[in-house]
């Protein structure tokens, strides 16, 4: 009986009578591969087979007495064949999964969240800005209309009380009631006169009796840096034209707030009606709306960031767990395929999943069985 080594092709002539019923194993002298020999099944004798063709010179055939007899009772240590080293070509599967299912979703979610917050912020800013402008314009118009209405009332009063001296305008109840009226919550109107030959501007009806008849330019010291803005609007009345504008005013509590003033000439006289008040008294509701919008925007931003963060963490966990399991199964199948490729046909396939990886495992198992049967048939033929 001739036995051929599967690894190096060396041939051995074995006496079938010396092979035990359970078979035997011996080590190839050339490559140390362990060769398994089974006892041939006895068949009915027939015509003798033709003599085998002479083997090539390189396949040296051992004589019946030359080969080392198989010793099935004494197990021999087999030398495991080295697995071929695999070099990673390109990006690994886990890296690809991280890029596709973690990095790209993070970029897309972050971009979508940033765009959403930007649009929300722009919308809130536009609404508050437009509302503030509309309310400011309405407040300015109200103050202007108030100045014009009081100017007309004062013109009628002065025409009907021509004998009343201007020094007494603030003491006369009817005159004071006409010239000094409330504007908004804390504002008021006042009556002052164009400068005479000495160039002095004087006020004759005012909510503050201390400035009646004084040179108004002396307010420069108490008003300090706020005086230029006030003086520009106060003296801007020329040739019967209205003057209007903003200036800063320091309250008793030390707060500096913006005031808006409209100065309207009293028709037919040298007098001017000044109507002034704090503008924030009109824009305060809009300011509150801006604060609520900012608070709402902050809460929305926090919620969006929370949802984005939770989503990203969930994606990372899912991809990490599933990716680790998937790559582990693929690596296991790759290791089994490597072991089969070096002749370890008894390698165990442990993957039993019902998905595509399970189908691949079954295909490798079928390939393993097919190779094993093919080798057995080849042994029997030889």
pLDDT score at 86: 53
- 372, pLDDT greater than 90: no
Q: Are 225 and 213 in contact (CB under 8 A)?
A: no
CB 211 within 8 A of CB 219: yes
Q: Place 47 in a pLDDT band, splitting at 50, 70 and 90.
A: low
Region of 345 on the Ramachandran plot (φ > 0 left; ψ -120 to 50 alpha; else beta) = alpha
Mean pLDDT of 112-127: 82
Query: Contact, 304 vs 117, CB < 8 A?
Result: yes
Measured CA to CA, the distance from residue 216 to residue 203 in angstroms comes to 7
Position 273 confidence tier, pLDDT thresholds 50, 70, 90: very high
Cβ(70)–Cβ(24) below 8 Å: yes
The Cα 324–Cα 364 span in angstroms is 22
- Residue 75 pLDDT greater than 70, yes or no: no
Question: What domains lie within the chain, and their CATH numbers?
Answer: 1-77 (no CATH), 130-287 (3.30.450.20)
Helix axes 280-341, 356-381, angle to 10 degrees: 10
CB 253 within 8 A of CB 270: no
What confidence category does residue 41 fall into, taking pLDDT thresholds of 50, 70 and 90? low
Query: What predicted TM-score, i.e. pTM, was given to this entire model?
Result: 0.52
If you average pLDDT over every residue of the chain, what do you get? Answer: 80
Is 240 strand, coil or helix?
coil
Q: Higher-confidence residue: 188 or 364? A: 188
Least-confidence region, from 161-165, 241-245, 374-378: 374-378
């Amino acid at each position: 009986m001739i036995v051929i080594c599967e690894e190096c092709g060396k041939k051995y002539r074995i006496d079938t009578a010396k092979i035990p019923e359970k078979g035997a194993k011996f080590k190839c002298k050339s490559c140390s591969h362990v060769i398994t020999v089974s006892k041939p099944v006895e068949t009915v004798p027939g015509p003798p087979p033709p003599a085998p063709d002479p083997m090539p010179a390189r396949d040296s055939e051992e004589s019946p007495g030359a080969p080392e007899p198989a010793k099935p009772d004494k197990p021999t240590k087999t030398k495991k064949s080295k697995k071929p080293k695999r070099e990673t070509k390109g990006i690994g599967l886990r890296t690809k999964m991280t890029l596709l299912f973690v990095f790209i979703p993070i970029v897309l979610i972050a971009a979508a969240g940033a765009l959403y917050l930007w649009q929300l912020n722009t919308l809130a800013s536009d609404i508050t800005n437009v509302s503030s402008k509309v309310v400011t314009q309405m407040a300015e118009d109200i103050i202007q209309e108030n100045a014009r209405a009081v100017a007309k009332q004062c013109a009628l009063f002065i025409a009907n009380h021509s004998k009343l001296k201007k020094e007494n305008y603030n003491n006369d109840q009817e005159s004071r009631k006409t010239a000094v009226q409330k504007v908004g919550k804390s504002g008021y109107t006042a009556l002052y006169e164009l400068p005479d030959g000495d160039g002095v501007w004087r006020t004759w009806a005012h909510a503050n009796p201390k400035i009646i008849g004084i040179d108004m330019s002396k307010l420069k010291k108490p008003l300090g840096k706020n005086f230029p803005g006030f003086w520009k609007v106060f003296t801007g009345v020329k040739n019967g034209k209205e003057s209007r504008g903003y200036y800063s005013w320091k309250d008793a509590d030390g707060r500096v707030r913006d005031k808006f003033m409209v100065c309207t000439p009293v028709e037919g006289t040298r007098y001017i009606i000044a109507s002034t008040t704090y503008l924030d008294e009109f824009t305060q509701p809009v300011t509150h709306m801006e604060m609520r919008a900012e608070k709402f925007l902050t809460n929305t931003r926090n919620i969006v960031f929370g949802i984005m963060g939770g989503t990203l963490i969930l994606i990372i966990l899912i991809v990490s767990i599933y990716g680790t399991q998937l790559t582990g199964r693929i690596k296991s199948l790759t290791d089994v395929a490597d072991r089969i490729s070096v002749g370890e046909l008894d390698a165990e396939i442990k993957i039993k999943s019902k998905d595509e990886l399970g189908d691949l495992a079954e295909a490798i198992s079928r390939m393993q069985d097919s190779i094993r049967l093919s080798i057995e048939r080849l042994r029997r033929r030889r």
